[in-house]
Structure 1
Amino acid sequence: MRLSEADLAAFTRAWAIKLTEFGSVSGSVGEAALGPWLATELAADEAFGDSRCWSFPVALGDPRHCVAMLVRGSGRKTVILTGHYDTVTTEDYGALEPVATRPERLKEQLLERLSSGGAQTAAEQRALADLQSGNFLPGRGLLDMKAGLAAGLAACASFAADEQRGGNLLFLAVPDEEVNSVGARAAASLLPGIAQDLALDFVGAINLDAIADDQPDGANGRIIALGTIGKVLPTALVVGVHAHSGFPLAGINAGAIAGAIAARVEWAPELTDTDENGLPGTQPSLLSLRDSKTGYDVTTPALAFLTFNVLSSTQSPADVLDRFETLCGQAADALVATLRDRSKASRKPTVLHQPIALHRFEAVYTAACQADEQNTALLKARAEELAASTLPLPDQCRELTALAWNLSGLSGPAIVVGFGSVPYLPTRLSAGPAAQRLLASAQDLAAEAEATYGTQLTATAVFAGISDMSFLGEAEEAALGIVARNTPLWDAGVRWPADGGIADIPIVNLGPWGRDYHTPLERLHEPYAFDVLPRLLIDLSKRLLG
């Protein structure tokens, strides 16, 4: 018996609350426990019929699990419904943290706080109006993105109840999207084997991630994204010539060079991609800047390290590194010219007669290995040690870059550019038949949504946030060669699969919308998430399965 619209909405809401109440902050015990728990819960839910449920760890010895559920119909055609179940921290809720993952209780307490003088900012006033409208429900992870998972489960339940169903649905929930996407990367490497073992042909995938929208009517939140943006993290290790601060002209301050780079790269148009309308996209921005000093003294910093967030939909990683390296060189040259001019009055010698050299990490690593045959083993051992530490991946890359520099025999002042994190490649629907069928189906669904479901749905070229689509979708994995060579922890920390880490499945994003995710005001638009989204997912899946 097929589920009625009311039953479908109630089913979605119940699962959304259930998933949200199971706290799963990235890196927590809850994140590790949710996978096996969810697999057990899915297997016990009669709404999914005789579906097959299982989980698998993201890596040997890692407690985090991906969860899969296959709802069979007939034939080999299969659509994947996927999303992540980890969330950002709840610590930012302050006194409300005990109810941060209890949506109904949080709504009561948040309303009480905001309505009794707590709505001081424009964002808080907007949140108060939304909650008073009765259309929004707050909760950490409810919007990002457990309501999306719940809508996917509702689509699976509806599919299981259809006795005439053709094709198959594979539900896939993964951890760690908020950090390094180890869940999606593990799934991507295993999906070809799953397809072979279970006789499946993946004709498309639907990512269920959330959209944030500040428009009054939520028009910008009701979208189906036909691709996703990419992200890389360019880094620069700055090597200065340290000196006593009483004799600053005897050296060149690594912190000053780093500051010049930060100012030159921040919002640089050279690293700003354009959107599908030719308008500027997200500008690059400094994420961290630190020097090598661990305490106070009067010696200038010898080293500094910078990381930058760079998002792009058309720029390749090679383009980004080329442009970033050029910007670093321009910043260094401009600073040296300024310092030379300022030093003239002193008539004292400086180290500014030599330019600030530019190197890529791969060249420095090679120089270190050639300087002494033992250095290769030393660098690899240090990389494994760093990968096993609790340091964030960019800091691990900083440490190994500094070690490679020290072993290389090269001299400063210098700048070593590279990458410092897991790369997220942009995805687009290709010209292949499966991708073109997904493209046509998504566009038709958007065009017909208002007449069929009473809601506007817009097909847009790019999902603006980085997401697991980068690993599950159609991305140019060959573009990662330069990233691999210039990411210090590529082998030990990133651990990109040698046989490929991109699933290469046509994928779009169709998820819930709301406001202010990753903040204590995170809230979900209930009517769309619970009433409309499951039906849209069912419709799109059926179009793909024929």
Structure 2
Amino acid sequence: MYEKVKDLPIEQQIEQFARDLVGIRSVNGTDGEVTLADKLEAILRSFPYFKEHPDQVWTQKLEGDAHGRKNVFALLKSMFENKQTIIYHGHMDTVGIDDFNSIEAHALDPDYLQHYFSEYTKDPDVQKDAASGDWLFGRGMLDMKSGDAVHLGNLLYYAQHREQLKGNLLVMFNPVEENDHQGVMEAVSELIRLRDEKNLHYKLAINGDFVSPLYKGDTQRYIYTGSAGKLLGCFYIRGRETHVGETLSGIDPTLIASKINEALNNNMDGAEQIANEVILPPSCLFQRDKKAFYNVQTAGTTFMYFNYFLYERTPNAVMEQLKHVAADACADLAAFLKQQYSVFSANCGLQGQAPHWDVDVLSYEEFVEELNQKGVPVEKIMDQVIQGNPNEDFRQVSCKVIEALEASAGDKRPKVIVFFAPPYCPHNYLRDNVPEEKRCDQILDEVLRQVQQATGERFAKKRFFPYLADSSYLSMSETSEETAAIVNNFPGWGKTYSVPLDQIRKLAIPVLDMGVYGKKAHTWMERLYKPYSYGVLPKLIRSMTERIFADHPDG
């Protein structure tokens, strides 16, 4: 690959890297992630520096991964004796390509797509962009293979200009970002091993994941000084089945689910309130009753879960909020059914005692505590469920664990059990009370000001990268006491899924997202703006790199 790009200016080198990476279909959960890892390793090994130092490119296979996916690393050592190290990192997987529909066969062909969209009259914005020649199209071009290409371009630049690199540069590419972040989580142990064995001091990690305009006409380039976290807030809802001919005597769990959905889904009342930040509300990602076939019995149980962003809020606060929402939903439903039953009984001339519609609300931790008091072998049952569902989705396994525990206890009372399921992304940001992080933030302000004056670009700095990213696993703001609320309310934690919380706290690497710029990620109109992404951004990242190293010349 080096021979193909060695005589090109860096902007064209980066574009060629991006085109080559986009040309490989690396959809999350497929063997294509392995193919792309092999391609990235081959590109790195083609650089003259790594031909001379082949041991400084290596891979780390993900433990027990059915596809054989792996992390890819490259370490460029400084000419100067220095332990300072900056990490450039990115992910190599993409979402699927089925949204391209009739042109799916061309989803990885930037030139075909540019021509196609230049004649696409149904969207004037994408047509204008395609006709300008300044935009590149294709699945992964924005999210985030161009970001990977920028890292490759800057790595090659420093490999050829090592006198400008006053510290070490570690480049890391990870699979499995688009859903469960397994790649970067397993990379944490490798980063710790490398730090300890080679006496490295990680000063900063720069992610090249994409940024986009936040509103129509927005021309600012956003730099993020941290990562939003995420919890998957889940509700297992047990109602009371009944024949439709006696519907008002039952408790329909789908009605409770609907009320919870209305209270949380896209509702800013459930979001944190932090001024001048991109703060998003919860989003429902799954809602389904557990009926397997048609009959005239109302549903017995419903399962639903929400993407729940974390910025400053603690996990325990999230649990309390979710329980409060569930309790309100159950109380509203009881009042509604009581009113409907009153109308119904008056119409029918019925007398006698009305049914009750009380529903208990409890966390998974509280549910397990009840089971332990009854002598239910919680761990044994959990292990049986996990072993019996080796290929099942993490979230569904969590639900099956609760079903099995409930069945073992003979507990069919109406209730809502609130719990967490994978994935969990810690949140982090540069903190004023941590001197090294505060200094990093100050240097960033200086660099952005200088680049803005030199290029005319308008930058805006935000704390939380809004799209979820692997950067969440390089540092975390939650304390061990705060994460206990997650672990204790997470069916199967440490068995089906876990996050290396203690190791992440030991890493504690300040993180930035300095990403390529474009529009419509995760859609068939995904596209990248070349002048900024391949022209301005690489220099911006190099400026930040050199300023960080210059600020700590002795490591």
Same fold per superposition (TM over 0.5): yes
Over aligned residue pairs, what C-alpha RMSD do you find? 2.3
CA distance in structure 2 between the partners assigned to 1:466 and 1:459 by the alignment: 17
Q: Which residue of 2 aligns with 1:420?
A: 421
Q: Give the secondary structure class of the aligned counterpart of 2:416.
A: strand
Which of the numbers 104, 118, 122 marks the counterpart of 1:111? Answer: 118
What does residue range 207-226 of structure 1 map to in structure 2 within 5 Å?
A: 207-213=207-213, 219-220=219-220, 222-226=221-225
Q: Which residue of 2 aligns with 1:206?
A: 206
Q: Are the aligned partners of 1:224 and 1:458 in contact in 2 as well (CA < 8 Å)?
A: yes
Which of the numbers 518, 524, 528 marks the counterpart of 2:522? Answer: 518
Measure how far apart 1:370 and its partner are.
Answer: 4.7
Q: Are the aligned partners of 1:143 and 1:524 in contact in 2 as well (CA < 8 Å)?
A: yes
Measure how far apart 1:175 and its partner are.
Answer: 0.7
Q: Are the aligned partners of 1:174 and 1:183 in contact in 2 as well (CA < 8 Å)?
A: yes
Q: Please state if 1:314 is matched with 2:305.
A: no
Q: Which residue of 1 aligns with 2:534?
A: 530
Q: Which residue of 1 aligns with 2:362?
A: 359
What does residue range 377-416 of structure 1 map to in structure 2 within 5 Å?
A: 377-386=380-389, 388-389=390-391, 391-416=392-417
Q: Which residue of 2 aligns with 1:263?
A: 262
Q: Please state if 1:298 is matched with 2:296.
A: yes
Q: For 1:309-342, what per-residue CA distance to the aligned partner results, in whole angstroms no more than 9, with x for missing partners?
A: 2223121111111011001101110110111121
What does residue range 333-352 of structure 1 map to in structure 2 within 5 Å?
A: 333-345=331-343, 346=345, 347=350, 352=355
Measure how far apart 1:134 and its partner are.
Answer: 1.3
CA distance in structure 2 between the partners assigned to 1:496 and 1:350 by the alignment: 51
Q: Which residue of 1 aligns with 2:553?
A: none
| Percent identical residues | 25
Q: Which residue of 2 aligns with 1:68?
A: 73
Deviates more, 1:178-187 or 1:257-266: 257-266
Between the two proteins, the alignment pairs up a number of residues equal to 532
Q: Please state if 1:245 is matched with 2:247.
A: no
The residue type equivalent to 1:213 in the other structure is P
Q: Give the secondary structure class of the aligned counterpart of 1:423.
A: strand
Q: Which residue of 1 aligns with 2:486?
A: 483
CA distance in structure 2 between the partners assigned to 1:501 and 1:282 by the alignment: 25
Q: Are the aligned partners of 1:20 and 1:142 in contact in 2 as well (CA < 8 Å)?
A: yes
What does residue range 435-446 of structure 1 map to in structure 2 within 5 Å?
A: 435-446=437-448
Measure how far apart 1:501 and its partner are.
Answer: 4.3
Question: For the structure 1 residues 440 and 364, does the alpha-carbon distance in structure 2 shift closer, same or farther, using more than 3 Å as the test?
Answer: same
Q: Give the secondary structure class of the aligned counterpart of 2:422.
A: coil
Q: For 1:109-138, what per-residue CA distance to the aligned partner results, in whole angstroms no more than 9, with x for missing partners?
A: 3334x1xxxx32xxx221111111111110
Q: Are the aligned partners of 1:50 and 1:71 in contact in 2 as well (CA < 8 Å)?
A: no
Q: For 1:256-302, what per-residue CA distance to the aligned partner results, in whole angstroms no more than 9, with x for missing partners?
A: 2222222222344442112333x782122322211110100011111
Deviates more, 1:243-252 or 1:72-81: 243-252
Q: Which residue of 2 aligns with 1:40?
A: 42
CA distance in structure 2 between the partners assigned to 1:435 and 1:4 by the alignment: 37
Q: For 1:52-102, what per-residue CA distance to the aligned partner results, in whole angstroms no more than 9, with x for missing partners?
A: 111101224451111110011031100000111100001111122122112
Which of the numbers 1, 14, 17 marks the counterpart of 1:12? Answer: 14
Measure how far apart 1:49 and its partner are.
Answer: 6.6
Q: Give the secondary structure class of the aligned counterpart of 2:131.
A: helix
Q: Which residue of 2 aligns with 1:57?
A: 61
Q: Are the aligned partners of 1:233 and 1:420 in contact in 2 as well (CA < 8 Å)?
A: yes
Q: For 1:405-442, what per-residue CA distance to the aligned partner results, in whole angstroms no more than 9, with x for missing partners?
A: 22234341111111122111221113333322321121
Unaligned runs of 5+ in 1: none
The residue type equivalent to 1:495 in the other structure is S
Q: For 1:497-530, what per-residue CA distance to the aligned partner results, in whole angstroms no more than 9, with x for missing partners?
A: 3753453200110010100010000000011111
CA distance in structure 2 between the partners assigned to 1:33 and 1:401 by the alignment: 38
Q: For 1:474-502, what per-residue CA distance to the aligned partner results, in whole angstroms no more than 9, with x for missing partners?
A: 43252321111112132222233375345
What does residue range 15-164 of structure 1 map to in structure 2 within 5 Å?
A: 15-46=17-48, 50=52, 52-62=56-66, 63-73=68-78, 74=80, 75-112=82-119, 114=120, 119-120=121-122, 124-164=123-163
Question: For the structure 1 residues 382 and 159, does the alpha-carbon distance in structure 2 shift closer, same or farther, using more than 3 Å as the test?
Answer: same
Deviates more, 1:234-243 or 1:368-377: 368-377
The residue type equivalent to 1:86 in the other structure is D
Deviates more, 1:361-370 or 1:347-356: 347-356
Question: For the structure 1 residues 348 and 35, does the alpha-carbon distance in structure 2 shift closer, same or farther, using more than 3 Å as the test?
Answer: farther
Measure how far apart 1:467 and its partner are.
Answer: 1.0
Q: Are the aligned partners of 2:142 and 2:528 in contact in 1 as well (CA < 8 Å)?
A: yes
Measure how far apart 1:461 and its partner are.
Answer: 2.1
Measure how far apart 1:108 and its partner are.
Answer: 2.2
Q: Are the aligned partners of 1:364 and 1:404 in contact in 2 as well (CA < 8 Å)?
A: no
TM-score computed with the length of structure 2 as normaliser: 0.90
Deviates more, 1:401-410 or 1:153-162: 401-410
Q: Are the aligned partners of 1:84 and 1:175 in contact in 2 as well (CA < 8 Å)?
A: yes
Q: Are the aligned partners of 1:205 and 1:508 in contact in 2 as well (CA < 8 Å)?
A: yes
The residue type equivalent to 2:211 in the other structure is I
Q: Are the aligned partners of 2:443 and 2:547 in contact in 1 as well (CA < 8 Å)?
A: yes
What does residue range 271-282 of structure 1 map to in structure 2 within 5 Å?
A: 271-277=270-276, 281-282=279-280
Question: For the structure 1 residues 104 and 525, does the alpha-carbon distance in structure 2 shift closer, same or farther, using more than 3 Å as the test?
Answer: same
The residue type equivalent to 2:185 in the other structure is R
Q: Which residue of 1 aligns with 2:230?
A: 231
Deviates more, 1:243-252 or 1:298-307: 243-252
Q: Give the secondary structure class of the aligned counterpart of 2:324.
A: helix
Q: Are the aligned partners of 1:238 and 1:304 in contact in 2 as well (CA < 8 Å)?
A: yes
The residue type equivalent to 1:237 in the other structure is Y
The residue type equivalent to 2:141 in the other structure is L
